[in-house]
Amino acid sequence: MPDIEYDNFLKIALYKLDSNFRRLDPDERSKAKQEFAEVVAVNSTENPVRTYSTVGTRADAELMLVQDSKTVDTFHSLSRDINKSFLGSYLEQSYSYLSIRRKSRYKHGGGALKLKDNYKYMVVYPMTKTRLWYERSMQERQAMMNDHFRVGKNYPMVKINTSYAFGLDDTEFVLSFEMDDPSDFTSLVMDLREVPAAQYTLTEIPIFTTIKMPIEEALDAMV
């Protein structure tokens, strides 16, 4: 058994609000949002739930919840409590990604300078490699990944996060990128498209551009 360093499991869930909720009495909507915010707060005691809005950036999702935990049972508890809430009865979980954070098999040679911890925007998408990628030797893949890492170092303003979903979910990887200016991410992607490893990407959609904000503000943006 190889010595692999594992960290937390990662759950990313995106929700779409039923438009019928917006037609409810204002007081009823307010109470429902308050209850939902309390659900998030209670479930953030040991494993904080990070909240993002997709209002204005996606048509099929309006709220994104991100949570890390040592056990997947944590995600079950949060989803259970959301389902029992009044607002939860008007929410459709349009996308869900389960993955695990672990040490990469590829040597990075030192990462880009980490500028900060909190960023305004996060871009998230699932990604799957082609079978041809795994037919290449480890040495060949490492050489191609070196180009990938070299490009990433040119964008220290973009924090790159890779988690591993194979065996846990339908995709292989869940990628997330944090930044304060989405145009920086666009430039990074343009450069990454030209490295050799890019030709071995099978799928990398859907893509979610999200705005980090407190749960109360994210809920107010929905209604």
- Scanning the structure block, which residue is given the tokens 């699932």? 126
What is the per-residue pLDDT across 151-180, written as a single tens digit (0 to 9) for each?
Answer: 999 999 999 999 999 999 999 999 999 999
Confidence at residue 1, expressed as pLDDT on a 0 to 100 scale: 35
What is the per-residue pLDDT across 104-143, written as a single tens digit (0 to 9) for each?
Answer: 888 876 544 556 779 999 999 999 999 999 999 999 999 9
User: Of 19, 55, 49, 28, whose CA–CA distance to 214 is shortest?
Assistant: 49
What is the per-residue pLDDT across 63-97, written as a single tens digit (0 to 9) for each?
Answer: 999 999 999 999 999 999 999 999 999 999 999 99
CATH class of 6-101+214-222: alpha beta
65 vs 184: CA distance, rounded Å: 24
Question: In the chain, pLDDT over 70 holds for what percent of residues?
Answer: 94
Mean pLDDT score of the chain? 94
Question: Do the Cβ atoms of 178 and 119 come closer than 8 Å?
Answer: yes
What is the per-residue pLDDT across 2-11, written as a single tens digit (0 to 9) for each?
Answer: 444 678 999 9
> Fold identical between 6-101+214-222 and 112-209?
yes
Name the fold adopted by 112-209.
Alpha-Beta Plaits (3.30.70)
169 vs 93: CA distance, rounded Å: 15
CA distances from 207 to 14, 58, 96, 123, 175 (A): 12, 9, 13, 7, 10
Confidence at residue 3, expressed as pLDDT on a 0 to 100 scale: 47
Mean predicted confidence (pLDDT) in 202-214 = 98
Domain boundary assignment for the chain: 6-101+214-222, 112-209
104 vs 90: CA distance, rounded Å: 39
Confidence at residue 116, expressed as pLDDT on a 0 to 100 scale: 72
